Amino acid sequence: MAIIVMPIYLHLASFYLNIVGLPVIITASILIVGRIFDCITDPIIGYYCDYFYRKKITRIALINFLMVILVILFYFLFNPPLALSQYASAIYLAIILTLFYFVFSALSINYEALAVDIAGDDSKLRNKLISCRESFQVVGTLLSAILPTIIIYLNKNSKTYDESLSQLWLVAL
């Protein structure tokens, strides 16, 4: 999951500033408001994730569904319609980023709860599962830092670094 979110933190602002042409204040404001909205909606998302789980919808099924939606949203974040005005581009970024954060939160909550669901009352198994999850998160974070650079390097036909950012959806995939 770190692979899909790290390019958002590292490259999204640069992409919307240099390629899309949004002013810094608009891009930064959208990013901040998006994170604030994410903080507010997390408890609500958690409630509904548990609600679906109680209705016998497995966390794995939710995770699989949400991951597909997240990759699609990731693609749209880095491939906006470039013919839009600044105002329309700002609205586009706000909507897609808000949806991305919403889906990512739902995915994260279900993923984090998975170890507890699998292990039940077995604390040793739960600790092993959580340790493995956190270890893989570190590996994912490292890969998310390396893979965009590899994609940019392999995309030698690109005129600039920023044009290569539109290919970051391959990292998510």
Q: What is the pLDDT along the chain (173 residues), one digit of tens a residue?
A: 777 787 788 778 888 988 888 999 999 999 999 999 989 999 999 899 888 888 888 889 899 999 999 999 998 998 898 888 999 999 999 999 999 999 999 998 998 888 888 888 888 998 998 899 889 888 888 887 777 677 767 766 655 555 556 566 666 66
Sequence-distant contacts of 36-42: CB under 8 A, at least 24 apart: 37/98, 37/101, 38/101, 38/102, 38/105, 41/101, 41/102, 41/105, 42/105, 42/109
pLDDT (0 to 100) of residue 73: 94
pLDDT (0 to 100) of residue 169: 60
**Token pair of 125 as six digits:** 């198994």
List pLDDT tens digits, range 28-45: 999 999 999 989 999 999
pLDDT (0 to 100) of residue 142: 83
Its pTM surpasses 0.85: no
Cα separation of the two ends of the chain: 11
Sign of CA dihedral 12, 15, 18, 19: negative
**Cα 16 from Cα 105, distance rounded (Å):** 23
